[in-house]
Amino acid sequence: MKMSAFRVLSLLACGAVIGGLLTSQHQRSAVVTLAAQGQPPADLAALQAELAAVKSIAPTQSHVMADVAIQFGNLWFAAQRKNWPLATYYLGETRGRLNWAVRINPTVKAQVTAEPIDIKGIFDGVDTGAIAPLRATIDKKDSVQFVAAYKVMLESCYACHKSIGRPYLRPQIPTATTQPIINVDPAAAWPQ
């Protein structure tokens, strides 16, 4: 049984109309359901209030940077013990915390001048200029070059601190681990 082109197009058009009606009816019923539950559709004022509430509980830049310090310090001790998988982990955690800092506040006001400083731009430069070579030393398991690359990363951190008017935040090679519960010995036999 052959259908004419007109019949086929008519059936497709009817299907599209019926589908459109069902979709709009579903959207209308969702709004009615929200209203019946005491949840009116979100308006701009409500969204702004919710955003303000979320911002008020977000961690500060200094909190996130304390996390960076922990992860970056642990990286030092993992590499010193030649635990390269753990060093890779801590470098990833450091980078993740730095990204978090950028997401929280992509621009920071300089402490002295109050001019906005593009933290994202600084991080992008550090990511390719200091983190990438540091990752390469870990991938190569090169302890000697790791020390040099680690120092370059510390210098990059300090350059950022100075650019935002906080030259008193002077990083150093860590002298003690902040997480003594993590065994950095790659030959550790316990726990299994």
pLDDT tens column, 119-166 = 999 999 999 999 999 999 999 999 999 999 999 999 999 999 999 999
- Sign (positive or negative) of CA dihedral 96, 98, 100, 103: negative
Q: Does position 32 have pLDDT exceeding 60, yes or no?
A: no
Structure confidence at residue 102 (pLDDT): 94
Tokens of 88: 């890779």
Domain residue ranges in the chain: 59-163
Q: 40 pLDDT band (50/70/90 cuts)?
A: low
* Residues 79-120 pLDDT 10s: 999 999 999 999 999 999 999 999 988 998 888 899 999 999
Dist CA 155 CA 152 (whole Å): 5
Reported confidence tier of residue 43, pLDDT bands at 50, 70, 90: confident
DSSP run (H or E) holding 109: strand 107-109
CATH architecture, domain defined by 59-163: Up-down Bundle (1.20)
The sign one gets for the Cα dihedral 32, 38, 40, 42 is negative
Q: Please state, in angstroms and rounded to a whole number, the distance separating the CA atoms of residues 120 and 106.
A: 5
pLDDT reading at 30 higher than 50: no
